[in-house]
Every structure is written in structure tokens, then in C-alpha cells.
Amino acid sequence: MRVLMSLGIAASLVMASTATQAADEKEIKEAIEYRQSAFSVMGWNFGPLGAMAKGDMEYDAEEAAMRAERVALLAKMPWEGFIEGSLRGDGHGADTDALAKIADNRDDFESLQTEMEDATAKLAEVAQQDDYAALRQQVAATGKTCKNCHDEYRADD
């Protein structure tokens, strides 16, 4: 009797987990889209800052301040989209450049996030000061924090 009961429980657990799996797949795809969108909006706003820093675009203090403020806000957003089972090779079938090794290096990944968030917070501050040289320097420092993570954890194919 006991055995039968636990078999019954096991069977319903299996059913429950199949049901959750279906929901999870949708959730995973949404999380991937969410984080890619957040990165995309952040990149859109960081682009003109990079162009101003390089001299490819005329420096405009007001625009720089607005873009930097947006980037600093957006810098906090992608991370919640890195949910379990959403990396490359996790079998969700969605397109992602987030490498599987993020899962094995969570602490490192998180410290790279913090470095980027800190750099963008400082960028937003510096951009308020209408000091082109300081802005250039902080744009470069911020760009480096993007690259540090992309080199390690983002696929380049």
C-alpha cells in the first residue's frame, strides 16, 4: 500500500514537472528576449557616447548627459534575464550568445556586472559636468567593462 502510494506520488510529480517544463520553456525564451532587449537599448544609448568620445560625432553636453543617465539605469536591467536553463546549450532552442560557462562562473559574472554598473554610475555623474576630457576617459573605462564580460561570456559567432 505504502509502495503504491509513493508510486502514485512519484507519477504525479513526474506529471507536474512535465507541466512546469512547458511553462519554463516559454519563460526561458521571454527571459532571453528580455535581456537581449535590455542590452540592445543600452547599446543604442552607449553608441553616441562612444562616437563622441572618438570624435566621430560632435560633442553635445546635453545629449551626453541624457545618454549616460539612460545607460546607468539600463545597466541594472539585463541580469534578471539570466534565469536557470537560459544559456547556450541548455536545450531551449532559442538564439542566445550567452555562453554556458556563465553557469559555472556565477561569481565572476556577477562581479563583471558590478564593475559595469559602477562604471556607468560614474559615467552618468561625469556626463553632468560638461567636461569633455573626463567624459572621454569614463566612456573608455565603461567600454572596457563591457568588453571584459563579452570577451569571456558572450559568443562572437
List of residues contacting ligand HEC (CB under 6 A): 32, 35-36, 39-40, 42-43, 46, 96-98, 109, 112-113, 116, 142, 145-146, 149-150, 153-154
Least distance in Å: CB of 44 to ligand HEC? 8
Least distance in Å: CB of 14 to ligand HEC? 30
Under a CB-based contact definition with an 8 Å cutoff, are residues 97 and 82 in contact? no
**Of 12 and 143, which has the nearer Cβ to ligand HEC?**
143
Hey, what amino acid is at 14? V
Which contacts qualify for 51-60: CB closer than 8 Å, 24 or more apart?
A: 52/135, 52/136, 52/139, 53/135, 53/136, 53/139, 53/140, 59/132, 59/135
**Of 14 and 54, which has the nearer Cβ to ligand HEC?**
54
**Of 138 and 142, which has the nearer Cβ to ligand HEC?**
142
Q: What angle do CA 111, 114, 118 make, to 5 degrees?
A: 145
**Of 46 and 138, which has the nearer Cβ to ligand HEC?**
46
Least distance in Å: CB of 87 to ligand HEC? 8
